[in-house]
C-alpha cells in the first residue's frame, strides 16, 4: 500500500517489500500515449518465441542489443513500433519478416524401406562446427546437410518437411515477438516454473476469471500467492474500473511482481489496493505515529520531517480507506489462490462478501479442496460448492497432419466454486419437516430401546434410517446431499437402536 517510491522491481522474495503495484510500472522516460499498447514500444516487456518453442521474456531498451544465444543477437530498436506476432530472421542488415504459409504436402510413393536409421548423414558434428566457424548462415548449413544426406531423396515428403523443420529449429536465427497478454504471460510462467504460480495453467486462470465474474466496475477480493498472476488477469479484465482488494499475509505490500511483466498503463492499475490479514481484525490499529502536521508543526521545521509526515499521512489515509472498504463489504467476487487453509480465509472474509457473490478457490491440491468442500457443504453461508478440474488438449492442425500434441497435457490445478448466500433458519422445505418428524420418532425409539437395554438389533436401525432417507422426497439435490449426510450421522448415532419397519 505504500505510496512511497519503492526501489526498482524486487524479484520474487515475498518478505521483501516489492514495488508497489498502485504505482506506474517503472520504465524509462514517460511513455507515448497508451493507445498503442498493441505495438512494441520502448521500455515494453516482450516475450520472444525461439525456434525451439521456448519463450523468453525481454525488456525493450532501444539502446541495447537482445542476445538470444545460438539464435543470434539483434538490436532492440528494430522492434520498436512493430506489431507483435511476426517472425523475424536475424540478418546482418537487421530483421527480415518471414511470411507464414501452410504447405499442402503431396503424397508420393516414397517410403522408408531403404533408409537405414544411421549413417545417412555424412557431415559430422565437427564438420558442422567447422562450417559454423567459417561463418556460414544457418540456412547454408541446412542446405549442406541436405546435400550430404545420402537418403534424403528417398524420404517421403512428410518426412522431408519434418527433417527440415528440425534442422531449421536448430540452425536458423529466427524469433517471434509475442504480446504479453494474460494468457501468454501465464503460459510463459507455467512452462518456465509452474510451481511459482502454483501450477496455475492459462485455461485454469481463464476459468477462474470467468467464474468470479471479473468485469469492469466489479469489486473483487483477492488473496494471491501466485506473485500477482491472478491480480494481473483481473487488472486486464477491469480496464481501470472497479476494485481489486488484495489481502496478503505479510506486513508489507503484497508481492505482485508479475504485474511488471505486462505493459499496463498506470490507469489500468488504479483498481488495486491492498491490506494484510492482521488488518482484517476489528481491533487492529496502525502504529501510533504523528500524522497531523498541525500537531508537529511547532516541534519541527525540518522539511524532511514534514515531507515524511505528509507521506505517512498519505499512506495512513490510503490504508484506512482500504480497511473501511473491506469492512463496508459488499464485494461481488472472491478469488483465493493462496497457500493458506482456504476455510480459515473464507471465514475471515465472509462478512465482506456480498450476497450472491461467486466465491472461487484455486488450489493445485485436490485434497485441500475436498476438505473445504466438506466444510462448506454444512455451512449455510455457501451454496453449491463444487470442484472442477480444467482439462486442455492442444492439436497440431497442419494439412494432412492433424493430431493431438504429444506433450502438453499437464496438471493445471483445481477450482472450487460456490456462491455466497444468506441463510434463513425459518425457511424449511416440506421434506425437511417430514425429516424432522422422522428424526423425533427415531429419537423416541432410541430412548425406548435404550431403556430396554436391547442392543442386539444393531444394523436394523441403520437399515431403517437408510430406508427413511430413500423415502424422503427431497426438494433439491443439495438437500438430498444434506439428507444423505444427516442420515449418515444418524446411522452412527442410532447404531444401537432398532426400528421395526
Partner 1 sequence: MAFYSTAPEIQAGDTIIVYSSRTQLNPLVVTPGTQLQSRYGHFKHDDMVGVPYGSKFASSNGRGFVYLLKPTPELWTLALPHRTQILYLPDIAFITSYLDVKAGSKVIEAGTGSGSFSHSIARSVGKTGKIHSFEFHEERFTKAQIEFKDHGLDDVITLKHQNVYKDGFELKDEVDSVFLDLPAPWEAIGHAKEALRKDRQSRICCFSPCIEQVLRTVTALSELGFSDITMYEALTRDHEPATTLLPDVSAAIERIQGHEAKKERRRESQIAEAQRKREEKERKRKHDEESGAVDGAEEGEEGSKSKKARVEESEGVTEEDVTMEEGASTTAASTPAPEESTSAIANPPPLPTVATPSSSNNNGKGNNSNNKKQPYVNPNHHAPKHMTFRAGAQTRGHTSYLTFATLLPKEGGSTEDSAVAEKVVEAVASAAESGKEGQAATGPSAEVLAEDEEFPMTEGDEAALLAVDMTELVGK
Total residues in contact with partner 1, by rule CB under 8 A:
128
Report DSSP state, residue 42: T
Nearer to partner 1, 179 or 260 (CB): 179
The least CB distance from residue 15 to partner 1, in Å, is: 32
Residues 366-405: x where in contact with partner 1 by CB under 8 A, - otherwise, as a string: x--xx--xx--x--x--xx-xxxxxxxxxxxxxx--x---
Told to check if 291 binds partner 1 by CB under 8 A, we report no
Residues 241-260 that bind partner 1 (CB under 8 A): 241
Taken in order 378, 379, 380, 383, the sign of the CA dihedral is: negative
Residues 423, 448, 450, 454: which binds partner 1 (CB under 8 A)? 423
Q: What is the 3-state secondary structure (H, E, C) of 424-439?
A: CCCCCCHHHHHHHHHH
Distance CA 345, CA 22 (A): 24
Nearer to partner 1, 315 or 421 (CB): 421
Distance CA 174, CA 97 (A): 9
Residues contacting 141, CB < 8 A, separation 6+: 128, 131, 132, 171
Distance CA 165, CA 139 (A): 12
Distance CA 209, CA 362 (A): 11
Q: E strands along 262-357, which residues?
A: 272-276, 333-337
Nearer to partner 1, 211 or 279 (CB): 211
Residues 237, 257, 435, 438: which binds partner 1 (CB under 8 A)? 237
Residues 75, 215, 312, 348: which binds partner 1 (CB under 8 A)? 215
Nearer to partner 1, 91 or 278 (CB): 91
Report DSSP state, residue 67: E
Nearer to partner 1, 209 or 345 (CB): 209
Told to check if 476 binds partner 1 by CB under 8 A, we report yes
Per-residue cell: 231: 491480480
Told to check if 456 binds partner 1 by CB under 8 A, we report yes
Distance CA 267, CA 363 (A): 30
The least CB distance from residue 1 to partner 1, in Å, is: 24
Distance CA 55, CA 191 (A): 9
Nearer to partner 1, 19 or 379 (CB): 379
A 10 A CB-CB count for 490 gives 25
The least CB distance from residue 235 to partner 1, in Å, is: 9
Residues 65-84: x where in contact with partner 1 by CB under 8 A, - otherwise, as a string: -----------------xxx
Told to check if 25 binds partner 1 by CB under 8 A, we report no
Residues 25, 43, 342, 358: which binds partner 1 (CB under 8 A)? 358
Told to check if 265 binds partner 1 by CB under 8 A, we report no
Listed ranges 58-66, 191-199, 293-301, 459-467: which one lies at the site for partner 1 (CB under 8 A): 459-467
A 10 A CB-CB count for 261 gives 22
Q: How many CA atoms lie within 13 A of 38 on its CB side?
A: 2
Residues 109-168 that bind partner 1 (CB under 8 A): 134-137, 139-140, 142-144, 146-147, 152, 157, 160-161, 164-165, 168
Amino acid at each position: 500500500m505504500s505510496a512511497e517510491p519503492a526501489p526498482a522491481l524486487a524479484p520474487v522474495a515475498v518478505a521483501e517489500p516489492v514495488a508497489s503495484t498502485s504505482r506506474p510500472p517503472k520504465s524509462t522516460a514517460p511513455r507515448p500515449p497508451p493507445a498503442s499498447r498493441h505495438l512494441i514500444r520502448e521500455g515494453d516487456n516482450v516475450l520472444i518465441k525461439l525456434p525451439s518453442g521456448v519463450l523468453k521474456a525481454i525488456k525493450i531498451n532501444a539502446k541495447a542489443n537482445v542476445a538470444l544465444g545460438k539464435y543470434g543477437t539483434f538490436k532492440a530498436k528494430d522492434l520498436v513500433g512493430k506489431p507483435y506476432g511476426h517472425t523475424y530472421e536475424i540478418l546482418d542488415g537487421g530483421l527480415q519478416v518471414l511470411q507464414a504459409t501452410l504447405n499442402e504436402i503431396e503424397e508420393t510413393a516414397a517410403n522408408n524401406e531403404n533408409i537405414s536409421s544411421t549413417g545417412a548423414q555424412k557431415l559430422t558434428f565437427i564438420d558442422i562446427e567447422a562450417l559454423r566457424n567459417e561463418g556460414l548462415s544457418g540456412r547454408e548449413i541446412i542446405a549442406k546437410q541436405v546435400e550430404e544426406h545420402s537418403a534424403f531423396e528417398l524420404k517421403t515428403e512428410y518426412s522431408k518437411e519434418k527433417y527440415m523443420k528440425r534442422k531449421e529449429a536448430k540452425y536458423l536465427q529466427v524469433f517471434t515477438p509475442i504480446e504479453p497478454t494474460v494468457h501468454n504471460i501465464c503460459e510463459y510462467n507455467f512452462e518456465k516454473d509452474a510451481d511459482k504460480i502454483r501450477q496455475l495453467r492459462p485455461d485454469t486462470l481463464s476459468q477462474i476469471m470467468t467464474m468470479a465474474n471479473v468485469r469492469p466496475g466489479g469489486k473483487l477480493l483477492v488473496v494471491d500467492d501466485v506473485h500477482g498472476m491472478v491480480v494481473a488477469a483481473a487488472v486486464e479484465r477491469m480496464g481501470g474500473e472497479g476494485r481489486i482488494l488484495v489481502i496478503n499475509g505479510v506486513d508489507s505490500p503484497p508481492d505482485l511482481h508479475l504485474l511488471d511483466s505486462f505493459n499496463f498503463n498506470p490507469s489500468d492499475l488504479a483498481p488495486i489496493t491492498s491490506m494484510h490479514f492482521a488488518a482484517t481484525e476489528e481491533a487492529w490499529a496502525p502504529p501510533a505515529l504523528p500524522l497531523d502536521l498541525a500537531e508537529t508543526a511547532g516541534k519541527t521545521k525540518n522539511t524532511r520531517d514534514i515531507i515524511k509526515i505528509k507521506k505517512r499521512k498519505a499512506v495512513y489515509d490510503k490504508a484506512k480507506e482500504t480497511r473501511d472498504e473491506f469492512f463496508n463489504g459488499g464485494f461481488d467476487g472472491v478469488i483465493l489462490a493462496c497457500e493458506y487453509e482456504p476455510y480459515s480465509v473464507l471465514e475471515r472474509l465472509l462478512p465482506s462478501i456480498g450476497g450472491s457473490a461467486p466465491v472461487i478457490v484455486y488450489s493445485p491440491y485436490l485434497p485441500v479442496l475436498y476438505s473445504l468442500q466438506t466444510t462448506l457443504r454444512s455451512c449455510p453461508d455457501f451454496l453449491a460448492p463444487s470442484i472442477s478440474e480444467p482439462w486442455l488438449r492442444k492439436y497440431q492442425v497442419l494439412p494432412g497432419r492433424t493430431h493431438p500434441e504429444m506433450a502438453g497435457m499437464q496438471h493445471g490445478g483445481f477450482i472450487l466454486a460456490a456462491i455466497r448466500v444468506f441463510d434463513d433458519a425459518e425457511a424449511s422445505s416440506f421434506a425437511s419437516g417430514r425429516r424432522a418428524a422422522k428424526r423425533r420418532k427415531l429419537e423416541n425409539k432410541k430412548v425406548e430401546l435404550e431403556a430396554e437395554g436391547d442392543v442386539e438389533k444393531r444394523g436394523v436401525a441403520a437399515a431403517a434410517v437408510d430406508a427413511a432417507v430413500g423415502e424422503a422426497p427431497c426438494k433439491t439435490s443439495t438437500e438430498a446431499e444434506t439428507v444423505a449426510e444427516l442420515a449418515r450421522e444418524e446411522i452412527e448415532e442410532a447404531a444401537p437402536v432398532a426400528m421395526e419397519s
